[in-house]
Amino acid sequence: MRQIAVIGGGPSGMMAAIAAAREGAAVTILEQKEKPGKKLLMTGNGRCNLTNRSASLEEGYGQQARIFVRECLEQFGAKDTVHFFESLGMKTKNREALVYPLTDQASTVLEILLLELRRWKIKIKCGERVVKLCCNLEEQTKKCEGEEKKKRWTVKTEGWSYQADCVILAAGSKAAPATGSDGSGYQLAENLGLKIKKPLPALVPLKCSGKMTAMLAGLRSSVKLTLWVNGKKVQQEEGELQWTEYGISGIVVFQVSAKAVRALEEKKKVEVELDLLPSMEAGEIAQFLEKTAKNDEKKTVEECLMGVFPKKMVSVLMGEMGWNKGDSAGKHPREEWDKLSRKCKGMRLFITGSKSFEQAQVCSGGVELSEVDGKTLESKRHGGLYLSGEILDIDGICGGYNLQWAWTSGYICGTYAAKGK
């Protein structure tokens, strides 16, 4: 029976352990926190967005990784994820393309996985921080003529050493280190000679220059957001934005954050352009405001704007236009309303940075994809070493893509490690 050590008890590690055990392997999970699955409990704001049923699922990942991801999804995709959990007795439900447990609780997903781990008698060793991986050759016990030596792995923790035929490195990234993803897996991989693309925060709030965001802190706006890098349009998203003291947050920001942070790391100029009223054309806005002003000559510009914009935004726009609080709305010609409408359709913010790994949901970067076999996720340098989940240079946008990669990569690693292929 093949002995497999899984480093990391997150979603990918648990899936890898289950897949390997189902193929007949003896599996031990080494988890450095006091319990496995701590980060899983945080996903989807505690509701756990399991996967995404999009017909073009691979488009939720970075462009350079899409072909790699697509081939992996062909082995274990969104339908396989839903079938896997429902076969374990957990009903799912859809919100458009997003898939959640019927209970809307991430704790249900974790409990179901723990039940399956116990059913397959998978050992879970908690409080075990792995500090070193080393591979050696061992004589086969059988004395058959021509028998080759086989590789054995030694997994050293701070207090013990474990022996295994294969190791699955599912130690996570540097995002949300309080859950156990402290980046230690990168060091283990680097010590074995694997190439690492610098990990950076992703799905993370962004910091902006200027005082505008602080003035709007606490406000939520439905916007169309366009990311610009060195004057080139890179990505566009639409959704709810949250204004903060330091900058901007919300899902619409998270979706572009990986590219924004990577561009800043490369010393590029990064801006976001916000359309504050994506449901209206600029001319339509100007016409409505001008008409409102003319309907009541006693109205101030503030009173005219408050029927279209939240109060905090009204103050910001008036400042941008150089208007005073008590100014009469009727005194402003159409040209000024046109100018204001263009401002609210194209508000520019300069991005200066992001929040830290502590506030990031995932990372961009990690072990380069050229280091692993695209079918089995086995290391090309070290036979018997498989890499799963966030430790690889694959990150997705919000919407179940990152958890799907955890399930997919875990299944692939566990299956091939157990088969010895």
Tell me the C-alpha to C-alpha distance, in Å, between residue 116 and each of 82, 89, 90, 109: 15, 11, 12, 11
**Edge-to-edge strands, sheet with 98-101:** 51-52, 98-101, 92-95
Kindly report, residue by residue over 242-259, the tens digit of the pLDDT.
999 999 999 999 999 999
CA distance 399 to 396: 8
Contact predicate 242/248, CB 8 Å: yes
Tokens matching residue 63: 């462009």
Tell me the C-alpha to C-alpha distance, in Å, between residue 257 and each of 14, 353, 413: 28, 10, 29
**What is residue 328's DSSP assignment?**
B
Task: Look at residue 302 and give its three-state secondary structure.
Answer: helix
Contact predicate 12/362, CB 8 Å: no
For every residue of 9-70, DSSP letters joined together read -SHHHHHHHHHHHHTT-EEEEEESSSSTTTTGGGGGGGT---EE--TTGGGGB-GGGHHHHH
- Specify the pLDDT at position 336: 94
**What is residue 116's DSSP assignment?**
H
- Specify the pLDDT at position 145: 45
- Specify the pLDDT at position 138: 53
Residues with Cβ within 8 Å of 126's Cβ and at least 6 positions away in sequence, in order, are 9, 31, 32, 33, 34, 35, 36
**What is residue 329's DSSP assignment?**
G
Kindly report, residue by residue over 135-174, the tens digit of the pLDDT.
886 543 444 444 445 678 999 999 999 999 999 999 999 9
**Percent of residues in the chain assigned helix, strand, coil, to nearest 5:** 40, 30, 35
- Specify the pLDDT at position 158: 93
CA distance 205 to 255: 10
pTM of the model: 0.93
List the pLDDT tens digit at each of the 421 positions of the chain.
Answer: 899 999 999 999 999 999 999 999 999 999 999 999 999 999 988 999 999 999 889 999 988 899 999 999 999 999 999 999 999 999 999 999 999 999 999 999 999 999 999 999 999 999 999 999 998 865 434 444 444 456 789 999 999 999 999 999 999 999 999 888 899 999 999 999 999 999 999 999 999 999 999 999 999 999 999 999 999 999 999 999 999 999 999 999 999 999 999 999 999 999 999 999 999 999 999 999 999 998 887 899 999 999 999 999 999 999 999 998 888 998 889 999 999 999 999 999 999 999 999 999 999 999 999 999 999 999 999 999 999 999 999 999 999 999 999 999 999 999 999 998 6
Kindly tell me the sign of the dihedral angle through the C-alpha atoms of 382, 388, 392, 394: positive
Residues with Cβ within 8 Å of 320's Cβ and at least 6 positions away in sequence, in order, are 340, 343
